[in-house]
Amino acid sequence: MHDVAIVKYEKPLESLRRAVDLVGGLGDVSRSSKVFIKPNLCLWHEGVNFPKYGILTTARLVEDIVVLLKEYGVEDITIAEGMIEIEKRPESTLQLLAKGMGLDLLAQRYGVKIIDVMRSSFAKVTAGDVTLSVNRDILDADYVINIPVLKSHSQTMVSLGIKNLKGLLNIASRKKCHNTDRAMDLNYHLARLPDILSPSLTIIDGIYTLERGPLYTGTAYRSDIIVASKDVISADKVGATLLGIAPQTVPHIARAADKNGRPVDLGDVNVRGEVDIKTALPPHQWEFEQNESGDLPLFFARAGIKGITQPQADNTMCTYCADFFLYVIMGVLMANNKDRPFDDIEVLHGKILEPTAGHKHTLLVGQCQVKKNSKHRLINHCVKIKGCPPSKKALQEAYRELGIELPDDFIEQMGRFSMTFMRKYAGKPEFNDAFYVVR
């Protein structure tokens, strides 16, 4: 049996200490241990007040685990994360985030190091029939503490301990995970991550949880939950259950359990703590909603958008295109002519979607779509947004060709648009940004 603790978050440090103690504490680290912490820090908008709730690991739990490690005398502590960068700058996105969240103060106070995985080196690691390139630094760790967020995810149903390990891969390996082979898809590759890099301790941060994640387009809840386990598969089975999603229905969790000869349900899990796993949280939906015909996102339909067809996103869309796709969506919602029907435009994304007959225009988003479908016989007028990642300039040119009238300052507005999602949490004191700043 594998122990998994579920405790209510009530007090800084003490709540985390209780969760860790319930699964055996940190007795397996020593003063000389080289410890790596892998939070979930997936995005940052410099100078913009955007919602972080249920999206990023709280600075609160990162600092608390550092303090616990220092109590055990650990000197060598590193925070490692691999944040995607669409545009190269002198300071990486992780460096900007570390300043914004105050994680750089942990370096001053406790000697913590911060490693940007994307600016480090990688080593190939094989598990079964899967080979991926993993951050070389963390492979040398004596102890790895994995701190994902408790959230559902539009591609993988949940994003918990296993999914969080994907942030330690290089870009080529991440793209490899989002491939077109349905037999060895994203879920297949995720299921191998616990064999490639098995964390010593997983702490799922559920102070805030997120429905229809992974980004601020989802809905966050103040949930005050901490999950801890020394087995990442067990932690994820419990995390999924808390979200109202049966772990046996989550492909990457079920496959990871099965590959290791374990039941896909909670049959080999010993849940500890005072929280009722079945009633602690309301069910968190994971899939982005489509209209009744399935050819348009529900948020487009509710906004009265007409003349556009856009199928449901699948798990072949990699992180580059997923980040960029916000520009595609917001370009439609912010268009000066959005109140009039567009000119019968089909939007295709990812690696496997193909055009359907009869549309006047087909927009191919990203290099994978361009390579796959630019000469497809069913396309009447092909419009391309090239690049990997796709180009913002190419998007503006494509929309001009399609008759989608973007505001003149569209790119500048997109630099600030994430702050509009803060309106959902205005006047709700339980949503407190202090959880995301080291003081």
CATH 3.40.50.300 fits 2-286+430-436, yes or no: no
Give the span between the Cα atoms of 388 and 226, in whole angstroms.
37
Amino acid found at 366: G
Position 323 scores a pLDDT of 86
Q: Report d(CA 337, CA 209) in Å as an integer.
A: 36
Q: CB 316: neighbour CB atoms within 10 A?
A: 22
Give residue 194's identity as a one-letter amino acid code: P
Backbone φ and ψ of 356, nearest 5°: -110, 160
pTM: 0.96
Please check whether residue 86 is in contact with residue 389, taking contact to mean a CB–CB distance below 8 angstroms.
yes
Low-confidence ranges of the chain (pLDDT < 70): none
Largest CA distance in the chain: 68
Report pLDDT digits (tens) over 342-374: 999 999 999 999 999 999 999 999 999 999 999
Q: What pLDDT is attached to residue 437?
A: 98
Strands (E), 194-318: 201-213, 219-229, 269-272, 308-309
- Per-domain residue ranges for the chain? 2-286+430-436, 298-407
